[in-house]
Amino acid sequence: MTHILVLHGPNLNLLGERQPEIYGYQTLADIDAALVALAATRQAHLRSQQSNHEGVLIDAIHDARAWANGILVNPGAYTHTSYALRDAIAAASLPTVEVHLSNIHAREPFRHTSLLAPVCLGQIVGFGWRSYLLGLQALLDHLSPIA
Ligand code: CA2
């Protein structure tokens, strides 16, 4: 069994309620349910957590060292600001995939930089809620290569 921490950053609890033209109509619960369904087909177990607080996200990454094989993270706006989150991911040394609903590279210039990308396995952006599914697939393939 593969164990994955799914981490959702600030404001993502509002998904489905506002700005659907950018972030879509799916709620965070919808996304988590789709991820659990995919995980079930790959003998993977997910623990999902959302927080609006940088320190809580960092603590979750630290805790993951004790039980997880990998991390799937949408760091929200901390993507562009948080050296602390980057250090936590680097220190955890767990394969981590960064995902974004929107294409951050096609938006405001401040969103073009991810401080986290250099310490992640890879980054998937711009496919709405499917970015999460693609990210989980990539992470599970990395952990248990099919071929
Ligand atoms: O595209 C993404 O997934 C982002 O991580 C979303 C963040 C944004 O700061 C990043 O640049 C890109 C914002 C999440 C805000 O989510 C909301 C959802 C519904 C209504 C308002 C905000």
Above 80 in pLDDT, residue 108? yes
Q: Which two tokens stand for residue 141?
A: 């393939």
130 close to ligand 1 (CB < 6 Angstrom) = no
pLDDT attached to residue 147: 55
pLDDT for residue 17:
87
Rounded CA-CA distance 139/132 in Å is 10
What was the pLDDT predicted at 95?
98
**Residue among 8, 62, 78, 100 flagged as catalytic:** 100
Stated pTM of the model? 0.97
Q: pLDDT band at 127, cuts 50/70/90?
A: very high
d(Cα 45, Cα 36) in Å, to the nearest integer? 8
* Cα→Cα distances 134→18, 35, 39, 112, 129, Å: 24, 10, 12, 20, 9
Q: Higher model confidence: residue 21 or residue 57? A: 57
The average pLDDT across 130-143 equals: 98
pLDDT value of residue 91: 98
List the structure tokens of 139: 């992470």
Q: Is 23 a catalytic residue?
A: yes
* Domain range list for the chain: 2-143
What CATH homologous superfamily does 2-143 map to? Dehydroquinase, class II (3.40.50.9100)
Q: Does 48 sit in the ligand 1 pocket, CB within 6 Å?
A: no
Rounded CA separation 20/12 (Å): 12
